[in-house]
Structure 1
């Protein structure tokens, strides 16, 4: 598998020479400086490629776009999206013309990945990302005061959430809001509570079926252009895989994946396998999902989570959580072998070690939440070991 590394551009505290030291050669990056819905020009794409190639001794190349964002108006299903669809198509063509042909994106409305703690303490002084269900409920029910937010929730969870809100200081509440808003680095909108209420109101009473219809419209608009350009789009699953703040999420479980892949049945319409995002859902069997959709997996995020009964979860060691990572990796290597035997030039699946604990000298450094250097390098080394062992024992191609 192709070892890649997420890099957030020139402002990233993890520099390109640091990435080379991890062993990764493929770069996963995005033009975060370009507002959502605006065309990615060939000039801007080539500028990013030139940064990666500035020191040829590093041997780095742009392997995957993560991400080419989908504008909120498209997710919301607004009628006046023709220009946004055309801009997306132009961006795909420009990326392909520059040799970048794997494009990750997501269809999570308003917020992207969501956590309630960005630096949960670990034994020895490290930190991890964490989602505490009682803090999420406390925010949704008692701070955001969203109508209907408490419906159907267990009384003991509501009581714990209320106790947290009542005891939390103003600073703790602000920190919770900032954690929830952290989302995808590069996102332009960060909401205060009134702002979040306003953007949620724009979605009205959107249902799961409504959001699916909006996704199908998007895919029907852009997949033909991706096919023509030789681009493989790959949807990132919901994180966490459950509705948030009254909004549906539609890439949270195995059936959701089957549904969106069937909307436009094309190799250009694929999946980013994120073992952590899907792994946070107790309903998801990651090895089975990997095997079922192997031929449509164009990119993989490999990380692990430890789940709790109330819906809380924490980022775990890459080989130490609830996901059977060895079985997932074996399924991916088996798919690589199938592609290689078909004679495909692009048979290797790019993957990156996703999220990592903040460890050692990285503690306190201004890295993006979840993206310190040492924790991810530790994960990459562990995953590399699994891959080499499976390749030798099972005769699978690396």
Structure 2
């Protein structure tokens, strides 16, 4: 009975809807807590040290969620990206072109807007990367809740562009937030990646091999000076996704690992990160600065305008030039609604804000940037929901009309 309950819970947590709802609940809880009379308790919690002296790790609970738990989130993202590239939508060049071009637009234009608006502001040398990422879980959750009547190709388009978008954001994290590299530890990480690859090549399935490799890879990258969440991405991309002859596709390592870790990522890792990262004091001063501070304006405009126009504009141009093909059942208005959902930055944007601005000034810059990300992501989700609901009614009306015509013809 207990096993059955656990199985059902895991299945439930695998849906984008529940993962997104848990993320929203955690973020709301953090905001309410930090702005309540018990706000000092929240600060004490996130600053509590959880050290491992033997490994010279002296991290706060907030650091563990950012560096540790998000490694699992990025591992799942790596698995999903590998699957899409090898056997999924991105494996076919024609199908892959549109979401790839859309993702490029959703990275380039927000970065340009952020640079132009925030030029010369302290921290902007790396802060321009804050609005470039789309939150996969959050965006797909909104689509699942409000876009149920939109054609299924909408989810494929949004998922594909968000996966490519996050890959670009991961590359930016590796480039922008790696200052000094300890080569010895980098070699240790490389050896771990090689061991994982060989284990996959020779069809080793025992977790006795892979768990130590994963832990050592994370630690080696941490000690090398590279953000350790990249361990998750690397290991995910090295995992086998194509089934052997006679092997069930559900038994492939990537499918098994995604099946196991997705509910952990959706139900624990991402919500806990949201809880520890979203606690921003919201007072009148913060709200006034959101629309006057150039860093926060760069983030707001980069996400809302840059992501929406970048994703839709690049897609439209690619389709008109014949570089990419628009899905037959999706109209341009559907794609615009999905582009608005692309402006939901949340998880990765909050992570980049933490990495880019923590050392800027007295620390208020990171709080203001996080407030801008939260506000913009909420605005994008509401606007996208309204557009999806309207498009859903249009598609439903068309389906009803076709069914009526079929009945009359019979």
TM-score (norm 1): 0.30
Structure number having the greater helix percentage: 2
Structure number having the greater strand percentage: 1
TM-score (norm 2): 0.30
